[in-house]
Amino acid sequence: MYSLNVIYVLWLRQIKRYYRARSRVIGSLAQPLLFLVALGYGFGPVFAQAGQGNYLSFLVPGVMSMSIIFTAMFSGIEVIWDRQFGFLRETLVAPVSRLSIMLGRTLGGATVATGQGVIVFFISLLIGFRPTSWGLFIPAVLIMFLVAMLFTAVGTAVASRLEDMQGFQLIMNFLIMPLFFLSGALFPLNDLPSVLATIVRIDPLSYGVDALRGLLSGSAFFGLGLDVGVLAGVTVLFLAIGGYLFSTIEI
């Protein structure tokens, strides 16, 4: 029972900390909005002429995933922040397992990242995007949360090994950009070169983008069952890795 209370408190703290910084929320939406407007309208005619349909409908799930992965992975920096200012020490000496502490932080970061994805979704409605079925919106939110849990766990795992914020930011940028650009968020997965097709299948974000695209735009490439299975399996794996690394933090 005490562990559940700790998880709840840390979950709520993560959410409050993020949304109190309004400039942080607004700033995190600038890049997705730029992608939606510049790419959505810029490449739309070319995409249509190639017989691929509406590029905005294709692009929106990818941009939502971009917003989620950036917010989720960078939430790990708060582990370093709390370590430097002493809050982490106070948390770790509490009579509760470190796995519960890590899980509370991960749930909080994932909730914030999911919220960012939902905000991007509603912004996309203002520029012309329309989902194929509003009845699939809730399943899409659940997929967003699963993606957010996965990459929040990755961010926490990396932050558990670092004490330097600058180093964390460099590593996150090194990981995020390839994961995003090689996930099929910006380009169709049909008829890719074999090497690129293999990389796309290894990238876990590919399955999150594909699941959102299938639910919101009706054009899944891998199939929803495979998408959910891979996401769930990789999420459990990285939660286990993140939990182990977090449990070995020295205070």
Q: Which two tokens stand for residue 32?
A: 């997705």
Angstrom distance (rounded) from CA 110 to CA 238 = 13
Q: How long is the chain?
A: 251
Whether 175 and 73 have beta carbons less than 8 Å apart is answered as: yes
Q: What is residue 251's three-state secondary structure?
A: coil
What pLDDT tens digit does each residue of the chain (251 aa) get? 556 766 666 667 666 666 665 556 676 777 888 888 888 777 777 676 655 678 888 899 999 999 999 988 888 877 777 777 666 676 666 666 777 778 888 888 899 899 999 999 999 999 888 999 899 999 999 999 999 999 999 988 888 888 777 788 888 888 888 999 999 888 888 888 889 989 999 999 999 999 999 999 888 899 999 999 999 999 999 988 888 887 777 66
Angstrom distance (rounded) from CA 57 to CA 30 = 19
Would you tell me how many other CB atoms lie within 10 Å of the CB of residue 116?
25
8 Cβ contact partners less than 8 Å away, ≥ 6 residues apart = 104
User: What does the pLDDT read at residue 99?
Assistant: 77
Instruction: Region of 227 please: left (phi>0), alpha (psi -120 to 50) or beta.
Output: alpha
Whether 102 and 9 have beta carbons less than 8 Å apart is answered as: no
Whether 184 and 200 have beta carbons less than 8 Å apart is answered as: yes
Amino acid code (one letter) for 1: M
The single-letter DSSP state of residue 136 is G
User: What does the pLDDT read at residue 1?
Assistant: 53
Q: In Å, how far are 3, 62, 131, 238 from 9, measured between CA atoms?
A: 10, 32, 35, 22
150-172 burial code (b ≥16 CB/10 A, e <16): bbbbbbbbbbbebeeeeebeebb
From the list 97, 118, 106, 107, the residue with the least C-alpha distance to 154 is 106
User: What does the pLDDT read at residue 32?
Assistant: 84
Q: What is residue 116's three-state secondary structure?
A: helix
Q: What is residue 175's three-state secondary structure?
A: helix
Angstrom distance (rounded) from CA 57 to CA 54 = 6
Whether 208 and 151 have beta carbons less than 8 Å apart is answered as: no
